[in-house]
Chain A
């Protein structure tokens, strides 16, 4: 089961020089030692309200498996999905 956060809450993400997440702060908890499972980009609706997102599916040392993305237009990080 996964929980889709359609409202895309903001998360704090610390990245390395290449822009890859290395630390994640969510609901007041810091999740370190982030491992990247997958990454992909989505660019859509360029003709009206452009969407450009860099997605990361990641797992943390304490077992959190989730999908976050960087809104490249705003420069903010958001949580999209948490896997049980």
Chain B
């Protein structure tokens, strides 16, 4: 197996930019085009199985260059080796300016390739401090006069086990360029997207609403059969002579009800447009297309919410469920009892019923 390690130093540590995790995920999505097996080790570190990619992308150096191109927003260090340890070490040792990466996008990339089968030879002269050892173990290595990986690799395995235990054995295997840990590819998050174009461009909200409902229905219908429901939805308005406007929202719980998804998105869009309209003086541009994206697919298994336990923080969840029932069966069927004055003398003053399904309901007494 040939493994490529990719490290984005700027995405790691405390100096990482905001939303580093999201940007990292986006880069991983792009890397999926390069290799079908990508492992996200942590934010800023990824491994890719690059075995057998030569016919498609050329030499390993070209594969690394392609990876650097796909993730060109941040400087990347790439390393290729026979296993994940060698690949990670190569990425760590890579320095910018190393040769031959085609294209300008890789100018900020560094790449080091350890030739196949030469891991042990390559490591033999490297300092032992490069091994991922505990400080105490590292101190004992120096007490024994071990300074290079080659020295540790050359010792009898039983002697290393006797002196340093299982951890020492593992480190010796690494020093010999052996790492049995497999690559654990991530599952690419499924994402459903559709676009509806308007010709001529739409001006009113009615057309957009209808198109959005149709688009949501088209995306959610197949999901229902797979017992999946999206947990997030995003709507993009492509406007005439104006930049696209995108609103996204995390659904309170996964749902496959297209009307509800459309309704929530439109409400969010309305709020967004209203806030922008306060600052803008131009007329609202016409809409040439809308794009709908659904992701975070999960099993929408129904859950029983405890009705008589304190609902701190869960009322929103319960309200969401009840509102959906209200939308399905019509208004005037679901009411919530609000205990205003539990100690009132007259029962009709102790509580009142508030209709569920009307936002900001003032309270319809019953």
A80 touches B347 (CB 8 A): yes
Q: Is B19 at the interface (CB under 8 A from chain A)?
A: no
Nearest chain A residue, comparing its CB with the CB of B353? A6
B345 touches A44 (CB 8 A): yes
B346 touches A44 (CB 8 A): yes
Q: Is A64 at the interface (CB under 8 A from chain B)?
A: no
Q: Is A18 at the interface (CB under 8 A from chain B)?
A: no
Q: Is A4 at the interface (CB under 8 A from chain B)?
A: yes
Nearest chain A residue, comparing its CB with the CB of B337? A4
Given the known interface contacts A6-B365, A6-B366, the answer about A42 and B346 at a Cβ–Cβ threshold of 8 Å is yes
Q: How far, in angstroms, from A65 to B300 measured CA to CA in the complex?
A: 43
Nearest chain A residue, comparing its CB with the CB of B366? A6
Q: List chain B positions with a Cβ less than 8 A from chain A.
A: 345-348, 365-366
Q: How far, in angstroms, from A75 to B348 measured CA to CA in the complex?
A: 19
B348 touches A6 (CB 8 A): yes
A4 touches B348 (CB 8 A): yes
Q: How far, in angstroms, from A43 to B90 measured CA to CA in the complex?
A: 88
Q: Is A51 at the interface (CB under 8 A from chain B)?
A: yes
B346 touches A4 (CB 8 A): no
Give 16 CB contacts A-B under 8 Å. Answer: A4-B347, A4-B348, A6-B347, A6-B348, A6-B365, A6-B366, A8-B348, A42-B345, A42-B346, A44-B345, A44-B346, A51-B345, A51-B346, A53-B346, A80-B347, A81-B347
Contact with B along A29-70 (1 / 0, CB 8 A): 000000000000010100000010100000000000000000
Nearest chain B CB to A73 CB, angstrom units:
13
Nearest chain A CB to B194 CB, angstrom units:
48
Nearest chain B CB to A47 CB, angstrom units:
13
Nearest chain A residue, comparing its CB with the CB of B345? A44
Within 8 A of B (CB), among A1-31: 4, 6, 8
Query: In the complex, which residues of chain A have a beta carbon less than 8 angstroms from the beta carbon of B347?
Result: 4, 6, 80-81
Q: How far, in angstroms, from A44 to B345 measured CA to CA in the complex?
A: 7
Query: In the complex, which residues of chain A have a beta carbon less than 8 angstroms from the beta carbon of B366?
Result: 6
Nearest chain B residue, comparing its CB with the CB of A2? B347
Query: In the complex, which residues of chain B have a beta carbon less than 8 angstroms from the beta carbon of A81?
Result: 347
Query: In the complex, which residues of chain A have a beta carbon less than 8 angstroms from the beta carbon of B346?
Result: 42, 44, 51, 53
Query: In the complex, which residues of chain A have a beta carbon less than 8 angstroms from the beta carbon of B365?
Result: 6
Q: How far, in angstroms, from A4 to B347 measured CA to CA in the complex?
A: 8
Q: How far, in angstroms, from A81 to B270 measured CA to CA in the complex?
A: 45
Q: How far, in angstroms, from A22 to B345 measured CA to CA in the complex?
A: 26
Query: In the complex, which residues of chain B have a beta carbon less than 8 angstroms from the beta carbon of A53?
Result: 346
User: 4 tightest A-B contacts by CB?
Assistant: A6-B348, A44-B345, A42-B345, A4-B347
Q: How far, in angstroms, from A8 to B365 measured CA to CA in the complex?
A: 13
Query: In the complex, which residues of chain B have a beta carbon less than 8 angstroms from the beta carbon of A8?
Result: 348
Nearest chain B CB to A55 CB, angstrom units:
10
Query: In the complex, which residues of chain A have a beta carbon less than 8 angstroms from the beta carbon of B348?
Result: 4, 6, 8
Nearest chain B residue, comparing its CB with the CB of A51? B346
Nearest chain B residue, comparing its CB with the CB of A5? B348
Q: How far, in angstroms, from A81 to B347 measured CA to CA in the complex?
A: 9
